[in-house]
Amino acid sequence: MQIKFISVMVADQDKALAFYTETLGFQKCADIPMGSYRWLTVTSPDGIDGVELVLEPMAFPPAQVYQKALFEAGIPATAVITTDIQAEVKKLKARGVVFRGEPQAMGPITAVVFEDTCGNLINLVQPAAPGQA
């Protein structure tokens, strides 16, 4: 088995697509009409081939409650990895991304949380280099 799709819930798929492609630099992968919504995925040009982030329409009322609860509790919906967190934060701040603090060393990682403009918090993580922790 392998992980192929990871989902984040979004209220507005077009807004989410703009943020994840124009701001984060991901690439649109699939955009298939599915009734009132779309099967809409993006992929990271730096990521593992074949892994896609689904911009999941949030039409199911319990999903709306769940997303809001995570956001209000400060819990990230998912995480993305970088090899240079300081450079990534600087680049994303210049693009208007809102961060919840500054990168903090946490044992084997350095991490900071940012808002995706779609009601989700995303954890930006840089693993420690081998032999550092």
Q: What is the residue extent of each domain of the chain?
A: 5-127
Q: For residue 12, give both structure tokens.
A: 């507005």
Asked if 8 and 55 count as a contact pair (C-beta separation under 8 A), the reply is yes
Alpha-carbon distance of 73 to 121, in angstroms, equals: 10
Q: Which residues, 6 or more positions from 96, have their beta carbon under 8 angstroms from its beta carbon?
A: 23
> What rounded mean pLDDT belongs to the chain?
95
Q: pTM to 2 decimals? A: 0.91
Architecture of domain 5-127: Roll (3.10)
Sheet holding 5-10, edge to edge: 5-10, 52-57, 37-43, 27-34
Q: How many CB atoms lie within 10 A of CB 94?
A: 8
Query: Block means of pLDDT (10 residues each) for the chain, length 133 residues?
Result: 94 97 97 95 92 94 94 97 97 98 96 97 92 59
**What was the pLDDT predicted at 132?**
60
Q: Cα Rg for the chain, rounded, in angstroms?
A: 15
